[in-house]
Every structure is written in C-alpha cells, then in structure tokens.
Amino acid sequence: MDGPKRPRVLLVPFPLQGHITPMLQLGTILHARGISVTVLHPEFNSPNASNHPEFTFLPLSDNLSRNKATLSNAFQFISAMNVNCREPFQEYMDQMMELQELEGRVACVIYDSIMHFAESVATQFDLPSLVLRTTSAANLLAYHVILRLHEQNLLPLPESKLDDAVPELGFLRYKDLPYSISSKIPEPILEFLPSSFNIRSSKAVIWNTVDTLEKSPLTGLQQLYQVPFFTIGPIHKTTPPHNPTSLIKEDTNCITWLDKHAPNSVIYVSLGSLATIDAQELIETAIGLVDSEQPFLWVVRPNSVKGSEWMESLPDELARGIETRGFVVKWAPQKEVLAHFAVGAFWSHCGWNSTMEGISGGVPMICRPFFADQMVNSRYLINEWRVGIELENAEDSRMIVKNAIRRLLVDEEGKEMRQRSQEMKQKLEICVQEGGSSYNSLENLTQFILSM
Ligand code: UDP
C-alpha cells in the first residue's frame, strides 16, 4: 500500500478550533494506519498546512463576506458554510474521482456533523460518508430532548421546573441543557437542530468520546441511530505528542515557567477559543488569582475581553501583582500544559476538547461554562465524574475565584479530587492501549474504512 496507491479519505472539518483539532487528529491517526488524507476546508480559519505535510489540503471558497455571515450569528454562519462550500467541494470531487486510478481510490468522506452538505455531495458521487461528532454523546442527546419538548409543546418551560432532572439524562437538570428552554426557541435554531442531528445516509458515527465515560447516553443514542458507532476518544491520546493543530501561535515559554514549579502547585486557566468575558470579569479574575496566593498560568486570548484588544483595561498595580505569581500567555500549548507535572488544577470553560484533555491530564477542574455543550460537560465533570467544582457566576466574584482555587490546590478536598482525576486518567489510558475499548474501536473503524 505505498504512496499514491493508498486508499484515501476526504475530511471536511467545520472551521472552528474545537472542531478542526479533532478532525486533524483523526486524519493523523488514519494516515498512520496506511490511509491517505485530503482535507477539504473552508477558507475561513484555514488550518496551517505546513504542520501536516503528510496531508493534501484543498481550500473551499466560502464567500462568507459576500453573505455577511460572521461568527456572531452562528446559525447564519453555519448555513452559509453549507451553501457556499458545496459547489467548490463538488468541483474537487469531480477531479478526484477522475484521478482515482493515479492517486488512489477514494474510500469515503468523513465530515463534521455541522458540515452536512458534504454528505449529500458524497451521495451524489456514490461515495459512502461517515460523521465525526466533536462534542459529547450526552450533548447530542440533550439536543434531542430540547426538540422533543418543543414537539410536545412544552416550551418555554416554567422557571419552577428548571431544577428538575431530565429523565433521559439522569442527573442533568433542564437548566443544564445546551440551549436555554425558559424562553421561546427562535426559528433558526429549530431549523438547525434536526439538520445537525440527521445523519442522512451516513454509514457510521465517529465519536471523540470513551465508552466508560458515556455509557448511558451512547446506549440511548444507539437506539436512535441504527449505524455503527466508533468511540475512539480521547483522540489526542492516540496522536503523537507533537501534533500541532492550533490556529493561533502557541507560546511555549510557559512550559519553561512551569518547569520551575513544584508538582501540582499551579492553576492553569483557559476559556478556549470562543468564550469572551467583560472587563469587570477580567479584573475579578485577576484579583481572585492573585489573592489565592497560588502560582497561575493564565491564557488571555486576544479580543477575548469585550471592548479591549487584550488586557489593557487592568490597572497597573494589578498587572504587577500578576507578574509576581503568574504567567500570562495569549495561547498555550494546552495538551502539553495539562500533562505537565506542575499543573495541579484546570479552570476551564468546559469545551469538549478541554474536558477530554483535562480528564486525560488527571487534574481536578474548576468549571465555568458559558454556552452550548459547555453546560452539559460541566455538569458531567461535577456530578457524574466528580472531578470538578462549580464556579458560581457572580458580579463580585474575586472571593469565589480565590476560594475555588484554594479548595483545589490547598485543601483536603482538592487532594481527594485529584486522586479521583488520576484514577480516571488511568482508566482512559487503558482504553487507548492495545485491547482497550477506544483502541479496538479505532481498529474496527480502520477496517470499516478499508472495506469500503
Ligand atoms: N487550546 C490551546 N491553547 C489555549 C487554549 C485552548 O491549544 O491556550 C486548545 C485546547 O487544547 C482545545 C481547543 O483549543 O483543544 C479548544 O477546544 P474546546 O472544545 O475545549 O473549546 P472551544 O474553543 O471549542 O470553546
């Protein structure tokens, strides 16, 4: 199976960091198993091709400016992606199908569940397609619940019911669902929901999750989707340690800074690639971090503080306090950070990649979800896996921040939680090792693709 004669998969990522990363990681894994990889990606947030010389990258002209679609209107953005990328994708497909003899057979299309146009084009070319889901199984089930409630005319749900448990999801409360159901759900969302669940003619679903973590939601979903599920997570544990997928340059100086600290002594703070805070929350966070008297590594993404480019709204005195105890970067090599011996806790927005990376790093977490699946993941971290504590959202949050950090880094409670996190980390390591559930799933997925 050398060189150009390898079978080829076509990957279609959705162009946000949390979606691009697992898709590229999947590509790396499949490539290592003898499969050629072509990534057909929108021009918006293009991945850095030089990080993956082993892949072929083909840009899809997305014309987003013409449609005035921006990330601030997520549903319009998604819809524009699906409409605009279709034609360039078809054109590439035409060429690739013609060149199959020379360049290797195209086995299938693997698309992010949001990029569903890829499924219909694949069908048009008589090619099988597989869906990659980059969020948790519980999150998908939660969206099904929202749609069911809507169909039963039960929405908006009265405030008094929001603390009740969702029957399909055990301890998840209605208020933890990924979309607020206490007011009427807008039409664009009601249109989006079924289109994102529907796998159409796709032959299988690939999940960046682990059987032992999500047994119950996976069982529930398997009844709704009668196709094979390949649960191969945590995907980043199967890719080589240095497999850069970041859209922003990683500041590796923080690793040298971490090297100087004692084991489990540092709190790592990162709110992912999308969440934003206001200037007041930046100040409260900074004061809470300094007052905790624990060393901290803090990621403040450019433009993540509303109305500012970066941290210029912080008073000078506070900035000096930060320098004595902390290290601030614009973007960190997060997987490396979470695997570092000095990191003792992770304050996260609970995006699914960060959730998987935190659990795999064996660190207890402070959970501060903002929107969508982060609400579900946070509830799982705190109540199901018991490796996280909640950060209440309050105006004057400096004391809350300080106390949460000290609970995890100083108090007995943190030690117990770290013990549980370490046990969980070990369980996940077993899953990705030979004979483990994710390892076996990956073997089965590879065979499935090769047999297509
Ligand atoms: N990340 C990173 N450096 C940072 C912050 C985040 O590499 O400083 C990565 C993180 O490792 C994760 C991704 O960005 O893989 C964020 O994805 P996630 O699903 O956690 O959240 P999202 O950004 O989609 O909200």
Residue 292, ligand 1, Cβ within 6 A: no
Which atom of ligand 1 lies at the shortest distance from residue 350's CA? Answer: 20
Q: What is the pTM of this model?
A: 0.97
CA distance 405 to 347: 8
Give the closest residue (by CA) to ligand 1 atom 2: 334
Among 132, 243, 354, residue to substitute to test ligand 1 (most atoms within 8 Å of Cβ):
354
Measured CA to CA, the distance from residue 403 to residue 449 in angstroms comes to 50
Q: Is the dihedral of CA 188, 111, 244, 87 positive or negative?
A: negative
Instruction: Kindly report the backbone phi and psi dihedral angles of residue 142, in degrees, each rounded to the nearest multiple of 5, phi listed first.
Output: -60, -40
Asked if CATH classification 2.40.50.140 holds for the domain at 8-141+179-243+433-450, the reply, yes or no, is no
Q: Which CATH class is domain 253-430?
A: alpha beta
Does any ligand 1 atom lie closer than 6 A to the CB of residue 199?
no
Task: Give distance in angstroms: CA of 127 to centre of ligand 1.
Answer: 32
Model pLDDT, residue 1: 45
Phi, psi of 415 (to 5 degrees): -65, -45
Choosing from 14, 17, 25 the residue with most ligand 1 atoms within 8 A of its CB, the one to mutate for a pocket test is 17
How buried is 33 (Cβ within 10 angstroms: 0-12 exposed, 13-18 middle, 19+ buried)? Answer: middle
Contacts of 214-222 with CB under 8 Å at 24 or more apart are 214/136, 214/137, 214/138, 216/170, 217/136, 217/137, 217/138, 217/140, 217/141, 217/169, 218/137, 220/141, 220/168, 221/137, 221/140, 221/141
CA dist 138 to 145, 221, 381, Å? 10, 9, 12
Rg of the chain on CA atoms, in Å: 22
Minimum-distance ligand 1 atom for the alpha carbon of 236: 15
Half-sphere exposure of 371 toward its Cβ, with a 13 Å CA cutoff?
7
Q: Delimit the CATH 3.40.50.2000 region(s) of the chain.
A: 8-141+179-243+433-450, 253-430
Is the Cβ atom of 274 under 6 angstroms away from ligand 1? yes
Distance 15 CA to ligand 1 centre (A): 13
Dig out the tokens for 57 from the structure: 């990258």
- Collapsing DSSP to helix, strand or coil, 20 comes out as helix
Nearest atom, ligand 1, residue 16 CA: 24
DSSP labels, 137-193: HHHHHHHHHHHHHHHTT--SPPGGGTTSBPGGGTT-BGGGSSS--SSPPPHHHHHHH
Cis peptide before 156 (omega within 30 of 0): yes
Evaluate: CB of 334 within 6 angstroms of ligand 1: yes
Q: What span, in angstroms and rounded, lies between the C-alpha atoms of 417 and 386?
A: 7
pLDDT at residue 132 in the model: 98
Q: What six digits make up the tokens of 186? A: 């807008």
**Cβ atoms 288, 317 nearer than 8 A:** no
CA distances from 153 to 71, 147, 148, 156, 179 (A): 30, 10, 9, 8, 16
Ligand 1, residue 348: give the atom nearest the CA.
20
CB 417 within 8 A of CB 364: yes
Peptide bond into 234 cis (omega under 30): yes
Residue 393's pLDDT is: 74
Query: How far is ligand 1, taken at its centre, from the CA of residue 253, in Å?
Result: 18
CA 47-53-59 angle, to 5 degrees, is: 40
Per-residue model confidence as pLDDT tens for the chain (452 residues): 455 579 999 999 999 999 999 999 999 999 999 999 999 999 999 999 999 999 999 999 998 866 666 677 888 899 999 999 999 999 999 999 998 888 889 999 999 999 999 999 999 999 999 999 999 999 999 999 999 999 999 999 999 999 999 998 988 999 999 999 999 888 888 888 888 889 999 999 999 999 999 999 999 999 999 999 999 999 999 998 888 999 999 999 999 999 999 999 999 999 999 999 999 999 999 999 999 999 999 999 999 999 999 999 999 999 999 999 999 999 999 999 999 999 999 999 999 999 999 999 999 999 999 999 999 999 999 999 999 999 987 777 999 999 999 999 999 999 999 999 999 999 999 999 999 999 999 999 999 999 99
Residue 351, both tokens: 């995006």
